[in-house]
Homo-oligomer: A and B are copies of this chain.
Amino acid sequence: ETLSSGDERTARPRNGKAREKTLTMETLNPQVKAVEYAVRGPIVIKAGEIERILQEGGKKPFTEVIKANIGDAHAMGQQPITFLRQVVALCTFPELLDSPSFPEDAKRRAQRILQGCGGRSLGSYSASQGVDCIRQDIAAYIEQRDQGVPSNWENIFLTTGASDGIVSILRLLVSGEGRARTGVMIPIPQYPLYSAAIAELGAVQVNYYLDEDNCWALDVHELHRAYQAAKQHCQPRVLCIINPGNPTGQVQSKKCIEDVLHFAYEENLFVMADEVYQENVYAPDCEFHSFKKVLYEMGPEYFNSVELASFHSTSKGYTGECGFRGGFMEIVNLDPEVKAQLVKLLSVRLCPPVAGQAAMDVIVNPPQPDEPSFAQFHKEKASVLGALADKAKLTEQILSAVPGIKCNPVQGAMYAFPQIFIPPRAVEEAKALGMQPDMLYCLRLLEETGICVVPGSGFGQREGTYHFRYVYLNFLDGSRMILGSSSHSNAKV
């Protein structure tokens, strides 16, 4: 076959057969096929359909869908923090620096950020690690948060949301074949970014179960069990923790974090601490302890050796700026050569979005008491966090009152992960439909009450138990919930 003559350039199905596709389910990257991701799965598609029916005047036993499936604060009506948006708008359109309607402290921050940008423009690629002065602000913020524990800005990397940081670190860590393959220990239930990234990278997912009976605490004995079991078939090298927890909403105690770090020290594990909910702690008897600070307090032998990456984001906290895709990671004790490799890897994708970096800067460098925006900033922040704390409490109360549902204390993050008791007959019915029982439960809950939640099977749960994740950014209508649930725990399913 040559292609030089004109005639041959006429298209035709060869051998009478239609041309086959190159990329089919058969030829698709099997590691991509193996990825599971439930947060935006069938329930959400169904919710969209129901919304369309309602909009077109169709009838349902409710008038609107309550989206309690995703931690997307602004989509649920939370208002942006004015100061943050002022700074980002000033950076975007610097002509506004002359406008009297923007406060001086916002202007100062915007000017400083722009000075860190090539050509003083948000439109320049930044260094792959992010804008230097923002990295410095982050390090200062961490030192303050951790009551003086030193933070080196050269260990700070801006990221495209926390997601990007988490995946980037996992990409470094995966290696080996067969029994030498990297095992990544993740909590069950987990935020499914972890299982998805592990599947795509072809690493081995090593599950450790959070202790539901003990308010989703992380028990170090369970870590040992999981580690020892995994060692039979892979090389566990990474330990991921989500604190405060998603989907479980717990806040780990300092003692628990110490135990975890000790374990990681002993077993030579790289620790990934997902701390995107560090500002989201509501229970009065709980406090956020960063892994970095606890490691420091364990003494230099620990602090100078355990490899730790911790992740933060603009998406959560009191800002809820998900769409800006801002975030950072701090990495301590990383081998310097490996660090150079990380920089190289990040360079390939050029840089994180600079507007997101600017948003992150506001979070770590908020208005100070002597600045003009302080009062309003503080009021807005307190209002968001106060409302979330109220909703956390209300969620716990309402869910605990629903027959057939058992709910742990809701301590932090923006989630409750109640256990649901599904009668055997309903379990059978789900199986007959080729569906997880909790998926069936959530579909029925959606159809009957308009409440959209994600089934526990999307996050992982102990065999034979069923849950759903409820995001309490929205108002929780107790009566709807009780109505919906009672119709399931009896024989109607």
Interface residues of A (CB under 8 A from B): 1-4, 9, 11-13, 18-25, 27-30, 32-33, 35, 37, 39-40, 70, 72-78, 80, 85-86, 88-89, 92-93, 96, 99, 101, 117-119, 121-126, 128, 160-161, 163-164, 167, 171-175, 192-193, 196-197, 200, 220-221, 224, 237-238, 258-259, 262-263, 265-266, 268-270, 298-299, 301-302, 305, 307, 315, 319-325, 333-335, 337-338, 341, 344-345, 347-356
Chain B residue nearest to A96 in the complex (CB): B89
- Asked if A270 and B23 make an inter-chain contact with CB atoms under 8 angstroms apart, the answer reads yes
- Asked if B92 and A85 make an inter-chain contact with CB atoms under 8 angstroms apart, the answer reads yes
How many Å lie between the Cα of A393 and that of B119 in the bound state? 24
A63 to B: closest C-beta gap in Å: 19
- Asked if B11 and A348 make an inter-chain contact with CB atoms under 8 angstroms apart, the answer reads no
- Asked if B11 and A125 make an inter-chain contact with CB atoms under 8 angstroms apart, the answer reads no
How many Å lie between the Cα of A337 and that of B225 in the bound state? 39
How many Å lie between the Cα of A244 and that of B96 in the bound state? 36
How many Å lie between the Cα of A349 and that of B477 in the bound state? 30
Q: 10 tightest CB-CB pairs across the interface, nearest first?
A: A75-B118, A11-B301, A323-B354, A89-B93, A74-B121, A75-B124, A353-B353, A74-B123, A325-B353, A123-B321
How many Å lie between the Cα of A324 and that of B124 in the bound state? 8
How many Å lie between the Cα of A227 and that of B174 in the bound state? 31
How many Å lie between the Cα of A73 and that of B124 in the bound state? 7
Number of copies of this chain that the complex holds = 2
Known contacts A3-B220, A3-B262, A96-B89; is-contact A348 B197 (Cβ 8 Å)? yes
- Asked if B349 and A161 make an inter-chain contact with CB atoms under 8 angstroms apart, the answer reads yes
A298 to B: closest C-beta gap in Å: 7
Give the interface SS of chain A, mostly helix, strand, loop or mixed. Answer: loop
- Asked if B268 and A22 make an inter-chain contact with CB atoms under 8 angstroms apart, the answer reads yes
- Asked if B11 and A323 make an inter-chain contact with CB atoms under 8 angstroms apart, the answer reads no
How many Å lie between the Cα of A344 and that of B28 in the bound state? 13
Q: Can you pick out 6 interface pairs between chain A and chain B where the beta carbons lie within 8 Å of each other? A: A12-B301, A21-B305, A25-B341, A89-B89, A121-B323, A160-B160
- Asked if B74 and A164 make an inter-chain contact with CB atoms under 8 angstroms apart, the answer reads no
Q: Find A307's partner among B22, B121, B354 (CB 8 Å cutoff).
A: B22
- Asked if A3 and B263 make an inter-chain contact with CB atoms under 8 angstroms apart, the answer reads yes
- Asked if B237 and A29 make an inter-chain contact with CB atoms under 8 angstroms apart, the answer reads no
Q: Find A322's partner among B12, B348, B350 (CB 8 Å cutoff).
A: B350
Chain B residue nearest to A67 in the complex (CB): B118
- Asked if A11 and B299 make an inter-chain contact with CB atoms under 8 angstroms apart, the answer reads yes
A452 to B: closest C-beta gap in Å: 13
> Chain B residues with Cβ under 8 A from A259's Cβ?
3, 9
